[in-house]
Amino acid sequence: MTEKIIPNLVMHPFNTTLMGVLRGVADFFGINASDAWLFGSSGHAFLINIHEQICPSGPYNWKYGGFYRLVKNLGMEMTDLGFFHAGTPVEERRKVEALLRRSIDTETPCSMLNMENQLITGYGDEHFVLKQPWPTVNLPITPKTLTFETWRELGDEPHARFFTFCKRKSADEKTVVLHSLNAAVDMVKNPENWSVEHYSTGLQAYNLWIKAVNEGFGSSHGNWWNGTVWAECRGMASRYFAEIASKHQDTASETAKELSNQYGNVANLLDKARDKGLADDAKIKMLAEAQRTEESCVTLIEELIRLL
């Protein structure tokens, strides 16, 4: 039996599974960064991406280019190996499988995004070995293996992407922070840089969310899951700004502390708004308040950029 496993490559159980992958890769590469620093400096702490019917695909279906650039600042280069679906010829599957095996042979971390992000930590004679995002929850959408060529674990309609991660020289701390803050502003001012058709990021995302609730989607799985993921992200944004504040002893520190408080408020609002049983009018009120708070945060972030 042939088996190759990358040792000490561990998936972390965040609701934001992309960040669970990134945490595992960062630890594997020996990158010293807190969870909040990873979320914040990668920009994911500031992302909110909402489908017009608040589909649960919001956390996954967006333009990743800006994220890749920010992750590289942290010392990790994430490479997209392409999109694969039910109609993808078996020859193309074999090619990407061969690339993944070569990467694993050199202990290069790999991941897959189908319904969720999962680390690929090894392979055997017949399949790849996948890490499940939440070890205590054995969901069919997060399989433990991926059979070569057939990918039967993904069902009749796979829509998979594969990625590799290489270690690179990281940027200095000031660059890391400034680039992440500029990305946070860009998500609001230029959502087309981050969102695809039928979705939006930034403040416009809240408009779509409120509209979806008004159209009857407030008690949907998508409302709950988007709220779960984006509340986690905003909580990490709060902690990120607390870390920034701790590194300064001037006006920048006070501005960062205020941003930490404001994003903490947004996290609490989104955590409440995700409740399927919450009345629509109460949900809309919370989402509108979160939107107003985020709008004020943009001004504070721009101020912090000038101060750093």
User: What are the two backbone dihedrals, phi and then psi, of residue 220, each rounded to the nearest 5 degrees?
Assistant: -80, 165
* Per-residue confidence band for 116, with pLDDT thresholds at 50, 70 and 90: very high
* Per-residue confidence band for 253, with pLDDT thresholds at 50, 70 and 90: very high
Percent of the chain whose predicted confidence (pLDDT) is above 70:
100
What pairing do the DSSP bridges indicate for beta strands 117-123 and 159-167?
unpaired
Structure tokens at 84: 């694969």
- Assign 107 to helix, strand or coil: coil
Q: Are 188 and 298 in contact (CB under 8 A)?
A: yes
Domain boundaries, the chain: 4-32+76-167, 173-307
DSSP state of 153: G
Q: What is the pLDDT of residues 219-237, one digit of tens each?
A: 999 999 999 999 999 999 9
Q: Which residues pair with 142 in a beta bridge?
A: none
Query: Model-level pTM?
Result: 0.97
Q: What is the pLDDT of residues 119-173, one digit of tens each?
A: 999 999 999 999 999 988 889 999 999 999 999 999 999 999 999 999 999 999 9
Q: Are 164 and 77 in contact (CB under 8 A)?
A: no
pLDDT greater than 60 at residue 1: no
Mean pLDDT of all residues in 237-243: 99
Distance CA 261, CA 2 (A): 52
∠ CA 262-227-32, nearest 5°, is 65
Question: Where would I find the beta strands (DSSP E) of 17-116?
Answer: 49-51, 76-85, 110-113
Closest among 80, 55, 85 to 195, alpha carbons compared? 55
In the numeric block, the tokens 């979806």 are attached to: 212
Instruction: Tell me what pLDDT residue 136 has.
Output: 87
Contacts of 243 (CB under 8 A, 6+ apart): 34, 36, 37, 40
Helical ranges in 139-220 per DSSP H:
173-189, 202-212
- Assign 126 to helix, strand or coil: coil
